[in-house]
């Protein structure tokens, strides 16, 4: 038995796919649990959040 320290992310499948793509560039995923859950390295969380935010932002149209 082993215990691995990490952060569990709960998200929708679409966000999970984006995360998987991001993982190809720079690996941070420890374990792919199921459609809605991923375990990632704890110290990568904020970088991942920032990059995800930027990625989601590309898909929105702004009036301003």
Residue 9 engages another protein in binding (rule: CB under 8 A): yes
| Cα 63 off chain centre by | 28
Residue 13 engages another protein in binding (rule: CB under 8 A): no
Q: Collapsing DSSP states into helix, strand and coil, what is residue 37?
A: strand
Contact 25, 17 (CB under 8 A): no
Q: In the set 8, 17, 27, 50, which binds another protein (CB under 8 A)?
A: 8
Residue 33 engages another protein in binding (rule: CB under 8 A): yes
Please give the size of the binding site for another protein, defined by CB under 8 A: 28
Contact 44, 9 (CB under 8 A): no
Task: Indicate the residue among 24 and 64 with the shorter CB distance to another protein.
Answer: 64
């Amino acid at each position: 038995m082993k215990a691995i320290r990490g952060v569990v992310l709960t998200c929708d499948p679409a966000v999970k796919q984006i995360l998987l793509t991001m993982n190809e560039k720079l690996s941070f995923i420890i374990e792919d649990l199921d459609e809605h859950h991923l375990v990632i390295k704890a110290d990568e969380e904020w970088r991942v959040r920032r990059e995800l935010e930027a990625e989601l932002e590309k898909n929105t149209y702004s009036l301003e």
